[in-house]
Structure 1
């Protein structure tokens, strides 16, 4: 039998999930983040289904990692490699997302025109993405810097 407190917690959790899911979908649809990431990463129409499945798979994995207590086996070398790979993948994602959002806001074209750097636009984007990736790796791999 579920108590009133348990029922209230279930309803609050369900409401929070709906709000977060709605915000994510609004973010992806209203700002056209996915098409912009595809265009930014030089993706073609044949690869769109791959992007869609990767997004669905990523959400599914994240939900399962939140719901279940997943622990890695204590193979220390394997864990270090996994942390490096995850940091690299997260950094790439953040870099692509930052690039897509920057394109949405049309900041870089205005900046490149004002600085007279129209030809170096791709180099500027690559530098921004690498900076975000390297910054993420430093943040996650060297935590003693931030303590």
Structure 2
């Protein structure tokens, strides 16, 4: 009886955690309007269903891959490069959505009197982030 109660409690915790994380992810996507904004930037309003499907399919795939302990036998560098690229795209889009929602860039440019140099400011931020990430991955973490 105690084992049954323990397993039931663990199942309840797992479901509750999944609901919490899933709700947080959906709330984040809705509040930031990530999918509609991506469709707007890509000029692909008609294909926004594909963006939504990709998010759902990715979530389902990685859930099953984690639960079922799927293994992919590919060279480590190729796999890490691909996963790093996909992760970087996601984190970059999320960071861009956050800064856009919070209007960080226009406020920063206005307060520093850099409105005329907004493109240069954005390029400096992007190149600085890229250079810092490459330094961290290729030099610092060796």
8 Å contact 1:94–1:132 — kept in the other structure? no
Correspondence 1:145 to 2:140: yes
Corresponding residue of 1:6: 7
Q: Larger deviation: 109-118 or 90-99? A: 109-118
Q: Report how far residue 127 of structure 1 moved.
A: 4.5
**RMSD, aligned CA:** 2.7
CA-CA distance at 1:110 after TM superposition:
0.9
**TM-score, with structure 1 as normaliser:** 0.77
* Matched residue count: 141
Residue number in structure 2 paired with 1:98 = 95
Q: Please tell me whether residue 85 in structure 1 is matched to residue 82 in structure 2.
A: yes
Q: Does 1:110 align with 2:107?
A: yes
Q: Distance in 2 between matches of 1:52 and 1:114?
A: 37
* Contact residue 39 and residue 45 of structure 2 kept, 8 A: no
Q: Which runs of 5+ in 2 are unaligned?
A: none
Q: Which has the higher contact order (CA 8 A, sep 6+)?
A: 1
The 8 Å contact of residues 34 and 97 in structure 2, kept in 1 or not, is answered as yes
Shift of the 122–45 alpha-carbon distance from structure 1 to 2, 3 Å rule, reads: farther
Distance 1:36 1:92 in 2: 15
Higher share of residues assigned helix:
2
Superposed, 1:53-92 pairs within 5 Å as 53-73=53-73, 75=74, 78-92=75-89
Partner of 1:35: 36
Please report how far the alpha carbon of residue 70 of structure 1 lies from its aligned counterpart in structure 2 after TM superposition. 2.0
Q: 1:83 deviation in Å?
A: 1.0
Structure 1, unaligned runs of 5 or more: none
1:16 aligned residue: 17
